[in-house]
Amino acid sequence: MNTADSEEMMLALAARGCFICEDLNKADIVLINTCTIREHAEHKALSLLGRLRKWKEEKAGRIIIFAGCAAQRLGAGVRGKFPHVDIVCGAKSIDDFDKILDKSGLFGSDKSAGKSAALNSPIALVNIMRGCSCKCSYCIVPYVRGEAFSLDFDAVLKEIETKLSLGTKEIVLLGQTVNAYNYKGKTFADLLRAALKLEGLDRLRYLSPHPLFITEEVSEIMASEPKMSKHLHLPVQSGSDKVLKDMKRGYSSGEFLEKIALLRRGGINVTTDIIVGYPTETEEDFKQTLSLVDECKFGGAYCFKFSPRFGTPAFSLKELPKEEVEKRLDILLNKIKENAKAAYKAQEGRAERVLMEDPHNGRTLSNFWVKTEASYKAGEVVTLTIKKAQESILLA
Ligand code: 5AD
Ligand code: SF4
Protein backbone atom coordinates (compact mmCIF):
# COMPACT_ATOMS: atom_id res chain seq x y z
CA MET A 1 0.00 0.00 0.00
CA ASN A 2 2.88 2.33 0.75
CA THR A 3 4.40 1.49 -2.62
CA ALA A 4 1.09 2.44 -4.28
CA ASP A 5 1.06 5.72 -2.34
CA SER A 6 4.68 6.39 -3.32
CA GLU A 7 3.76 5.84 -6.97
CA GLU A 8 0.85 8.25 -6.68
CA MET A 9 3.13 10.92 -5.21
CA MET A 10 5.78 10.17 -7.85
CA LEU A 11 3.23 10.87 -10.59
CA ALA A 12 2.49 14.31 -9.14
CA LEU A 13 6.23 15.07 -8.96
CA ALA A 14 6.87 13.63 -12.44
CA ALA A 15 4.28 16.02 -13.87
CA ARG A 16 6.48 18.81 -12.52
CA GLY A 17 9.54 17.44 -14.29
CA CYS A 18 11.01 15.35 -11.46
CA PHE A 19 12.55 11.94 -12.00
CA ILE A 20 14.04 9.29 -9.73
CA CYS A 21 17.70 9.90 -8.91
CA GLU A 22 19.77 7.12 -7.36
CA ASP A 23 22.42 9.42 -5.89
CA LEU A 24 21.40 11.45 -2.84
CA ASN A 25 24.14 14.00 -3.51
CA LYS A 26 22.71 14.79 -6.92
CA ALA A 27 19.08 14.86 -5.75
CA ASP A 28 17.13 18.08 -5.20
CA ILE A 29 14.20 16.50 -3.41
CA VAL A 30 13.92 13.70 -0.87
CA LEU A 31 10.49 12.21 -0.29
CA ILE A 32 10.27 9.89 2.70
CA ASN A 33 7.12 7.78 2.66
CA THR A 34 6.79 6.40 6.16
CA CYS A 35 5.28 3.43 7.97
CA THR A 36 4.23 3.46 11.62
CA ILE A 37 2.90 -0.09 12.01
CA ARG A 38 5.70 -0.92 14.45
CA GLU A 39 7.81 1.45 16.51
CA HIS A 40 10.95 0.35 14.70
CA ALA A 41 9.60 1.50 11.32
CA GLU A 42 8.85 4.96 12.67
CA HIS A 43 12.26 5.24 14.37
CA LYS A 44 14.01 4.40 11.11
CA ALA A 45 12.10 7.11 9.23
CA LEU A 46 12.74 9.73 11.91
CA SER A 47 16.43 8.95 12.16
CA LEU A 48 16.76 9.28 8.36
CA LEU A 49 14.95 12.59 8.62
CA GLY A 50 17.42 13.72 11.30
CA ARG A 51 20.40 12.76 9.12
CA LEU A 52 18.98 14.75 6.20
CA ARG A 53 19.40 18.02 8.09
CA LYS A 54 23.00 18.17 6.89
CA TRP A 55 22.04 17.25 3.31
CA LYS A 56 19.52 20.07 3.26
CA GLU A 57 22.08 22.63 4.49
CA GLU A 58 24.66 21.61 1.89
CA LYS A 59 22.82 23.15 -1.05
CA ALA A 60 20.21 25.89 -1.25
CA GLY A 61 16.79 24.96 -2.63
CA ARG A 62 16.79 21.35 -1.51
CA ILE A 63 13.34 20.07 -0.53
CA ILE A 64 12.34 17.43 2.03
CA ILE A 65 8.88 15.87 1.95
CA PHE A 66 7.76 13.69 4.87
CA ALA A 67 4.71 11.61 3.97
CA GLY A 68 2.66 8.57 4.97
CA CYS A 69 1.49 6.95 8.18
CA ALA A 70 4.14 8.27 10.59
CA ALA A 71 3.54 11.75 9.14
CA GLN A 72 -0.16 11.25 9.82
CA ARG A 73 0.45 10.10 13.39
CA LEU A 74 2.96 12.80 14.30
CA GLY A 75 1.17 15.59 12.39
CA ALA A 76 2.41 19.13 12.92
CA GLY A 77 4.80 17.83 15.59
CA VAL A 78 7.18 16.75 12.81
CA ARG A 79 7.79 20.35 11.75
CA GLY A 80 8.34 21.42 15.37
CA LYS A 81 11.04 18.81 15.93
CA PHE A 82 12.48 18.82 12.41
CA PRO A 83 12.21 22.40 11.08
CA HIS A 84 14.16 21.41 7.94
CA VAL A 85 11.09 19.53 6.63
CA ASP A 86 9.36 21.50 3.86
CA ILE A 87 6.19 19.50 3.27
CA VAL A 88 4.29 17.09 5.54
CA CYS A 89 1.65 14.90 3.89
CA GLY A 90 -0.14 12.38 6.15
CA ALA A 91 -1.48 9.06 4.86
CA LYS A 92 -5.03 10.39 4.76
CA SER A 93 -3.96 13.26 2.48
CA ILE A 94 -2.12 11.31 -0.24
CA ASP A 95 -5.04 11.88 -2.63
CA ASP A 96 -4.49 15.63 -2.13
CA PHE A 97 -0.72 15.46 -2.69
CA ASP A 98 -0.96 17.36 -5.97
CA LYS A 99 -2.79 20.24 -4.24
CA ILE A 100 -0.35 20.12 -1.31
CA LEU A 101 2.57 20.58 -3.74
CA ASP A 102 0.77 23.54 -5.36
CA LYS A 103 0.03 25.12 -1.99
CA SER A 104 3.63 24.78 -0.82
CA GLY A 105 4.75 27.38 -3.36
CA LEU A 106 7.96 25.38 -3.88
CA PHE A 107 7.02 24.21 -7.36
CA GLY A 108 6.07 26.29 -10.40
CA SER A 109 2.69 25.93 -12.05
CA ASP A 110 4.06 23.98 -15.03
CA LYS A 111 2.81 20.40 -14.89
CA SER A 112 3.38 19.66 -18.57
CA ALA A 113 6.07 17.03 -18.07
CA GLY A 114 3.07 14.70 -17.78
CA LYS A 115 3.46 11.17 -16.65
CA SER A 116 6.13 10.14 -19.10
CA ALA A 117 8.89 10.15 -16.52
CA ALA A 118 6.83 7.97 -14.23
CA LEU A 119 6.77 4.34 -13.51
CA ASN A 120 7.72 1.69 -15.89
CA SER A 121 6.92 -1.69 -14.40
CA PRO A 122 5.05 -4.70 -15.76
CA ILE A 123 3.08 -4.71 -12.50
CA ALA A 124 0.55 -2.04 -11.55
CA LEU A 125 -0.92 -1.46 -8.11
CA VAL A 126 -4.53 -0.34 -7.96
CA ASN A 127 -6.17 0.82 -4.74
CA ILE A 128 -9.73 -0.42 -4.41
CA MET A 129 -10.24 0.36 -0.72
CA ARG A 130 -8.85 2.88 1.70
CA GLY A 131 -8.62 2.68 5.49
CA CYS A 132 -9.64 -0.16 7.77
CA SER A 133 -12.58 -0.63 10.13
CA CYS A 134 -11.39 -3.85 11.77
CA LYS A 135 -9.77 -2.30 14.84
CA CYS A 136 -7.57 -5.26 15.76
CA SER A 137 -6.43 -4.52 19.32
CA TYR A 138 -2.72 -4.06 18.46
CA CYS A 139 -3.04 -2.16 15.19
CA ILE A 140 -2.59 1.52 14.49
CA VAL A 141 -3.72 1.40 10.85
CA PRO A 142 -7.40 2.34 11.47
CA TYR A 143 -6.22 5.42 13.39
CA VAL A 144 -3.76 6.69 10.79
CA ARG A 145 -5.66 5.65 7.66
CA GLY A 146 -9.23 6.11 8.91
CA GLU A 147 -12.39 4.04 8.46
CA ALA A 148 -12.66 1.67 5.51
CA PHE A 149 -14.35 2.73 2.31
CA SER A 150 -14.55 1.15 -1.12
CA LEU A 151 -13.69 3.11 -4.25
CA ASP A 152 -16.11 3.51 -7.16
CA PHE A 153 -16.48 0.22 -9.07
CA ASP A 154 -16.41 1.76 -12.56
CA ALA A 155 -13.56 4.11 -11.69
CA VAL A 156 -11.46 1.16 -10.47
CA LEU A 157 -12.10 -0.75 -13.71
CA LYS A 158 -11.26 2.36 -15.73
CA GLU A 159 -7.96 2.71 -13.88
CA ILE A 160 -7.13 -0.95 -14.55
CA GLU A 161 -8.00 -0.47 -18.23
CA THR A 162 -5.75 2.58 -18.49
CA LYS A 163 -2.84 0.74 -16.86
CA LEU A 164 -3.32 -2.28 -19.13
CA SER A 165 -3.39 -0.02 -22.18
CA LEU A 166 0.03 1.32 -21.11
CA GLY A 167 1.43 -2.22 -21.24
CA THR A 168 0.99 -3.49 -17.68
CA LYS A 169 0.77 -7.27 -17.47
CA GLU A 170 -0.15 -7.81 -13.84
CA ILE A 171 -2.67 -5.93 -11.76
CA VAL A 172 -2.53 -6.00 -7.96
CA LEU A 173 -5.72 -4.87 -6.23
CA LEU A 174 -4.98 -3.22 -2.91
CA GLY A 175 -6.78 -2.60 0.36
CA GLN A 176 -6.21 -3.24 4.08
CA THR A 177 -9.13 -5.69 4.00
CA VAL A 178 -9.26 -5.89 0.23
CA ASN A 179 -11.73 -8.77 0.06
CA ALA A 180 -14.30 -6.81 2.10
CA TYR A 181 -14.71 -4.55 -0.95
CA ASN A 182 -18.32 -3.51 -1.51
CA TYR A 183 -19.30 -0.52 -3.62
CA LYS A 184 -23.04 0.04 -3.69
CA GLY A 185 -23.69 -3.70 -3.60
CA LYS A 186 -20.92 -4.63 -6.06
CA THR A 187 -18.80 -7.18 -4.24
CA PHE A 188 -15.16 -8.17 -4.42
CA ALA A 189 -16.11 -11.26 -6.47
CA ASP A 190 -17.95 -8.97 -8.94
CA LEU A 191 -14.84 -6.83 -9.25
CA LEU A 192 -12.57 -9.83 -9.84
CA ARG A 193 -14.89 -11.19 -12.54
CA ALA A 194 -15.09 -7.79 -14.28
CA ALA A 195 -11.33 -7.21 -14.13
CA LEU A 196 -10.57 -10.68 -15.48
CA LYS A 197 -12.48 -9.81 -18.67
CA LEU A 198 -10.30 -6.80 -19.48
CA GLU A 199 -8.07 -6.98 -22.52
CA GLY A 200 -4.33 -7.19 -22.03
CA LEU A 201 -4.49 -8.65 -18.53
CA ASP A 202 -2.11 -11.51 -17.87
CA ARG A 203 -2.35 -11.80 -14.08
CA LEU A 204 -4.59 -10.60 -11.30
CA ARG A 205 -3.57 -10.55 -7.64
CA TYR A 206 -4.90 -8.91 -4.49
CA LEU A 207 -3.63 -7.98 -1.05
CA SER A 208 -4.17 -8.00 1.83
CA PRO A 209 -7.26 -10.10 2.44
CA HIS A 210 -8.77 -10.68 5.88
CA PRO A 211 -9.64 -14.31 6.74
CA LEU A 212 -13.16 -13.26 7.81
CA PHE A 213 -14.09 -12.28 4.26
CA ILE A 214 -12.67 -15.31 2.41
CA THR A 215 -15.68 -16.79 0.63
CA GLU A 216 -16.32 -19.95 -1.32
CA GLU A 217 -17.22 -17.77 -4.31
CA VAL A 218 -13.82 -16.02 -4.37
CA SER A 219 -11.90 -19.27 -3.70
CA GLU A 220 -13.72 -20.76 -6.68
CA ILE A 221 -12.71 -17.82 -8.91
CA MET A 222 -9.11 -18.17 -7.74
CA ALA A 223 -9.07 -21.89 -8.47
CA SER A 224 -10.75 -21.82 -11.86
CA GLU A 225 -9.55 -18.63 -13.54
CA PRO A 226 -6.20 -19.19 -15.26
CA LYS A 227 -5.29 -15.50 -14.93
CA MET A 228 -5.87 -15.40 -11.17
CA SER A 229 -2.72 -15.61 -9.08
CA LYS A 230 -2.42 -18.91 -7.25
CA HIS A 231 -0.96 -17.20 -4.22
CA LEU A 232 -2.65 -15.55 -1.28
CA HIS A 233 -1.08 -13.65 1.59
CA LEU A 234 -3.55 -14.31 4.40
CA PRO A 235 -2.50 -12.95 7.81
CA VAL A 236 -3.40 -15.28 10.70
CA GLN A 237 -1.53 -13.43 13.53
CA SER A 238 -1.84 -16.28 16.07
CA GLY A 239 -2.88 -19.92 16.37
CA SER A 240 -4.40 -19.56 19.83
CA ASP A 241 -8.15 -18.97 20.08
CA LYS A 242 -7.69 -16.97 23.27
CA VAL A 243 -5.09 -14.65 21.72
CA LEU A 244 -7.14 -14.29 18.51
CA LYS A 245 -10.07 -13.22 20.68
CA ASP A 246 -7.92 -10.76 22.63
CA MET A 247 -6.63 -9.39 19.33
CA LYS A 248 -10.25 -8.97 18.15
CA ARG A 249 -9.55 -10.79 14.90
CA GLY A 250 -13.09 -12.13 14.63
CA TYR A 251 -12.22 -15.78 13.85
CA SER A 252 -10.99 -18.88 15.69
CA SER A 253 -8.05 -21.04 14.62
CA GLY A 254 -10.56 -23.68 13.47
CA GLU A 255 -12.32 -21.15 11.25
CA PHE A 256 -8.98 -20.06 9.81
CA LEU A 257 -8.13 -23.70 9.04
CA GLU A 258 -11.45 -24.07 7.21
CA LYS A 259 -10.49 -21.12 4.98
CA ILE A 260 -7.10 -22.69 4.33
CA ALA A 261 -8.76 -25.97 3.33
CA LEU A 262 -10.97 -24.03 0.90
CA LEU A 263 -7.94 -22.38 -0.68
CA ARG A 264 -5.85 -25.54 -0.76
CA ARG A 265 -8.57 -27.25 -2.82
CA GLY A 266 -7.77 -24.69 -5.52
CA GLY A 267 -4.01 -25.30 -5.20
CA ILE A 268 -3.31 -21.87 -3.70
CA ASN A 269 0.09 -21.14 -2.15
CA VAL A 270 -0.72 -19.40 1.15
CA THR A 271 1.67 -17.14 3.05
CA THR A 272 0.89 -15.30 6.27
CA ASP A 273 1.73 -12.77 9.00
CA ILE A 274 2.23 -13.80 12.63
CA ILE A 275 2.69 -11.63 15.71
CA VAL A 276 4.83 -13.16 18.46
CA GLY A 277 4.66 -12.09 22.09
CA TYR A 278 1.25 -10.47 22.21
CA PRO A 279 0.95 -9.46 25.90
CA THR A 280 -1.59 -12.22 26.75
CA GLU A 281 0.30 -14.96 24.85
CA THR A 282 1.36 -17.79 27.20
CA GLU A 283 3.83 -20.56 26.39
CA GLU A 284 0.80 -22.78 25.64
CA ASP A 285 -0.73 -20.18 23.28
CA PHE A 286 2.58 -19.97 21.43
CA LYS A 287 2.64 -23.77 21.07
CA GLN A 288 -0.78 -23.53 19.47
CA THR A 289 0.63 -21.07 16.94
CA LEU A 290 3.40 -23.58 16.17
CA SER A 291 0.91 -26.36 15.60
CA LEU A 292 -1.25 -24.16 13.36
CA VAL A 293 1.87 -23.35 11.33
CA ASP A 294 2.57 -27.08 11.02
CA GLU A 295 -0.93 -27.75 9.86
CA CYS A 296 -1.10 -24.89 7.33
CA LYS A 297 2.29 -25.51 5.69
CA PHE A 298 2.62 -21.86 4.71
CA GLY A 299 4.79 -21.10 1.69
CA GLY A 300 6.33 -18.32 3.81
CA ALA A 301 5.48 -15.93 6.63
CA TYR A 302 6.40 -12.55 7.99
CA CYS A 303 6.84 -12.86 11.75
CA PHE A 304 6.83 -9.79 13.97
CA LYS A 305 7.52 -9.14 17.62
CA PHE A 306 4.56 -7.36 19.19
CA SER A 307 5.16 -3.62 19.21
CA PRO A 308 2.94 -1.49 21.48
CA ARG A 309 1.41 1.39 19.50
CA PHE A 310 0.14 4.40 21.36
CA GLY A 311 -3.62 4.85 21.02
CA THR A 312 -4.40 1.17 20.40
CA PRO A 313 -6.22 -0.95 23.06
CA ALA A 314 -3.20 -3.27 23.45
CA PHE A 315 -0.87 -0.37 24.26
CA SER A 316 -1.71 -0.40 27.97
CA LEU A 317 -1.12 -4.16 28.42
CA LYS A 318 2.00 -5.33 30.23
CA GLU A 319 4.59 -6.52 27.73
CA LEU A 320 6.20 -9.97 27.95
CA PRO A 321 9.91 -10.15 28.83
CA LYS A 322 12.03 -9.28 25.77
CA GLU A 323 14.17 -12.46 26.01
CA GLU A 324 11.06 -14.65 26.04
CA VAL A 325 9.69 -12.94 22.91
CA GLU A 326 13.08 -13.26 21.15
CA LYS A 327 13.18 -16.96 22.03
CA ARG A 328 9.68 -17.58 20.65
CA LEU A 329 10.43 -15.61 17.48
CA ASP A 330 13.52 -17.72 16.87
CA ILE A 331 11.62 -20.98 17.23
CA LEU A 332 8.84 -19.74 14.96
CA LEU A 333 11.21 -18.46 12.27
CA ASN A 334 12.96 -21.83 12.13
CA LYS A 335 9.66 -23.64 11.69
CA ILE A 336 8.53 -21.22 8.98
CA LYS A 337 11.83 -21.70 7.19
CA GLU A 338 11.42 -25.51 7.18
CA ASN A 339 7.91 -25.26 5.74
CA ALA A 340 8.89 -22.67 3.14
CA LYS A 341 11.80 -24.85 2.09
CA ALA A 342 9.41 -27.72 1.44
CA ALA A 343 7.11 -25.44 -0.56
CA TYR A 344 10.03 -24.31 -2.74
CA LYS A 345 11.34 -27.87 -3.11
CA ALA A 346 7.91 -29.01 -4.36
CA GLN A 347 8.33 -26.67 -7.34
CA GLU A 348 11.37 -28.56 -8.71
CA GLY A 349 10.84 -30.10 -12.14
CA ARG A 350 7.71 -28.07 -12.87
CA ALA A 351 7.27 -26.00 -16.02
CA GLU A 352 5.99 -22.62 -14.89
CA ARG A 353 4.81 -19.47 -16.63
CA VAL A 354 7.09 -16.78 -15.27
CA LEU A 355 6.41 -13.05 -15.52
CA MET A 356 9.85 -11.42 -15.83
CA GLU A 357 10.39 -8.33 -13.69
CA ASP A 358 13.93 -7.75 -14.92
CA PRO A 359 16.12 -9.65 -17.44
CA HIS A 360 16.95 -12.53 -15.06
CA ASN A 361 14.26 -12.54 -12.36
CA GLY A 362 10.54 -13.14 -12.41
CA ARG A 363 7.67 -14.72 -10.50
CA THR A 364 5.48 -17.76 -11.08
CA LEU A 365 1.69 -17.60 -10.88
CA SER A 366 2.02 -18.96 -7.31
CA ASN A 367 4.36 -16.06 -6.54
CA PHE A 368 7.64 -17.95 -6.19
CA TRP A 369 10.70 -16.01 -7.31
CA VAL A 370 12.58 -17.57 -10.23
CA LYS A 371 16.12 -16.74 -11.33
CA THR A 372 17.43 -17.70 -14.76
CA GLU A 373 20.71 -17.25 -16.59
CA ALA A 374 18.86 -16.65 -19.83
CA SER A 375 17.94 -13.06 -20.55
CA TYR A 376 14.43 -11.72 -21.18
CA LYS A 377 12.68 -8.38 -21.36
CA ALA A 378 10.88 -7.10 -18.25
CA GLY A 379 7.17 -7.81 -18.75
CA GLU A 380 7.76 -10.89 -20.89
CA VAL A 381 5.88 -14.04 -19.83
CA VAL A 382 7.96 -17.16 -20.47
CA THR A 383 7.61 -20.84 -19.64
CA LEU A 384 10.60 -22.02 -17.61
CA THR A 385 11.41 -25.41 -16.10
CA ILE A 386 12.42 -25.22 -12.45
CA LYS A 387 15.77 -26.98 -12.12
CA LYS A 388 16.53 -26.44 -8.47
CA ALA A 389 15.01 -24.86 -5.39
CA GLN A 390 17.23 -22.73 -3.20
CA GLU A 391 16.21 -21.25 0.13
CA SER A 392 13.89 -18.54 -1.17
CA ILE A 393 14.39 -18.67 -4.92
CA LEU A 394 13.89 -21.17 -7.72
CA LEU A 395 16.61 -21.65 -10.34
CA ALA A 396 15.52 -22.21 -13.94
N1 5AD B 1 3.11 -5.12 16.49
C2 5AD B 1 3.63 -6.10 15.71
N3 5AD B 1 3.16 -6.41 14.50
C4 5AD B 1 2.09 -5.70 14.04
N5 5AD B 1 1.41 -5.79 12.88
C6 5AD B 1 0.43 -4.87 12.91
N7 5AD B 1 0.48 -4.16 14.06
C8 5AD B 1 1.50 -4.67 14.78
C9 5AD B 1 2.05 -4.39 16.07
N10 5AD B 1 1.54 -3.43 16.85
C11 5AD B 1 1.71 -6.77 11.85
C12 5AD B 1 0.52 -7.71 11.56
C13 5AD B 1 0.04 -7.24 10.20
C14 5AD B 1 1.33 -6.75 9.58
C15 5AD B 1 1.15 -5.84 8.42
O16 5AD B 1 1.99 -6.09 10.64
O17 5AD B 1 1.02 -9.03 11.49
O18 5AD B 1 -0.57 -8.27 9.46
FE1 SF4 C 1 -4.73 -3.58 11.23
FE2 SF4 C 1 -5.15 -5.43 9.32
FE3 SF4 C 1 -6.52 -5.52 11.69
FE4 SF4 C 1 -7.05 -3.60 9.88
S5 SF4 C 1 -7.36 -5.83 9.62
S6 SF4 C 1 -6.82 -3.30 12.09
S7 SF4 C 1 -4.99 -3.19 9.02
S8 SF4 C 1 -4.27 -5.78 11.36
Minimum-distance ligand 1 atom for the alpha carbon of 312? 10
- Section 110-137 average pLDDT: 83
Q: How confident is the model at residue 120 (pLDDT cuts 50, 70, 90)?
A: low
Average pLDDT, the chain: 95
- Section 90-110 average pLDDT: 93
**Would you say residue 386 lies in a domain?**
yes
Per DSSP bridges, beta strands 388-389 and 381-385 are: unpaired
CB 94 within 8 A of CB 71: no
CATH number reported for the structural domain that contains residue 147 in this entry: 3.30.750.210
CA of 142 relative to ligand 2 center, distance in Å: 7
* 240-295 pLDDT, tens digit each: 999 999 999 999 999 999 999 999 999 999 999 999 999 999 999 999 999 999 99
Task: Let me know whether 128 and 212 are in one domain.
Answer: yes
Q: Does the beta carbon of 212 lie inside 6 Å of ligand 2?
A: no
Task: Let me know whether 134 and 54 are in one domain.
Answer: no
Q: Nearest bound ligand to CA 234?
A: 1
Residue with the nearest Cα to atom 3 of ligand 2?
Answer: 136
CA of 209 relative to ligand 2 center, distance in Å: 10
Q: How confident is the model at residue 111 (pLDDT cuts 50, 70, 90)?
A: confident
**Would you say residue 61 lies in a domain?**
yes
From 104, 132, 163, give the residue that closes a domain.
104
From 48, 72, 104, give the residue that closes a domain.
104
Task: Let me know whether 216 and 260 are in one domain.
Answer: no
Range of the domain at 329: 230-346
- The better pLDDT of the pair 392, 93 is held by 93
**Would you say residue 111 lies in a domain?**
no
What whole-number distance in Å separates Cα of residue 155 and Cα of residue 153?
6
**Would you say residue 235 lies in a domain?**
yes
Instruction: Please give the share of the chain, as a percent, with pLDDT higher than 90.
Output: 92
DSSP for 21-59? -S-GGG-SEEEEEE--SSHHHHHHHHHHHHHHHHHHHHS
**Would you say residue 71 lies in a domain?**
yes
From 229, 264, 280, give the residue that closes a domain.
229
Residue with the nearest Cα to atom 1 of ligand 2?
Answer: 139
For residue 199, the 8-state DSSP code is T
Q: Does the beta carbon of 235 lie inside 6 Å of ligand 1?
A: yes
* 347-372 pLDDT, tens digit each: 999 999 999 999 999 999 999 999 99
| Count of the separate structural domains present in the chain | 4
**Would you say residue 109 lies in a domain?**
no
**Would you say residue 115 lies in a domain?**
no
Going by C-beta distance under 8 Å and a sequence separation of 6 or more, which residues neighbour residue 287?
none
Task: Let me know whether 13 and 71 are in one domain.
Answer: yes
Q: The pTM is what?
A: 0.94
User: Ligand 2, from 129, 137, 139: best to mutate by most atoms within 8 Å of Cβ?
Assistant: 139
- Section 54-65 average pLDDT: 96
Residue 29 has pLDDT above 70, yes or no: yes
CB 228 within 8 A of CB 189: no
Q: How confident is the model at residue 210 (pLDDT cuts 50, 70, 90)?
A: very high
Q: How confident is the model at residue 117 (pLDDT cuts 50, 70, 90)?
A: very low
**Would you say residue 68 lies in a domain?**
yes
Q: How confident is the model at residue 119 (pLDDT cuts 50, 70, 90)?
A: low
- Section 206-223 average pLDDT: 97
CATH number reported for the structural domain that contains residue 79 in this entry: 3.40.50.12160
Task: Let me know whether 308 and 331 are in one domain.
Answer: yes
Distances (CA, A) of 288 to 8, 254, 281, 282, 336: 41, 11, 10, 10, 14
Sign for the pseudo-dihedral over CA of 296, 211, 348, 358: negative
Residue 116 has pLDDT above 60, yes or no: no
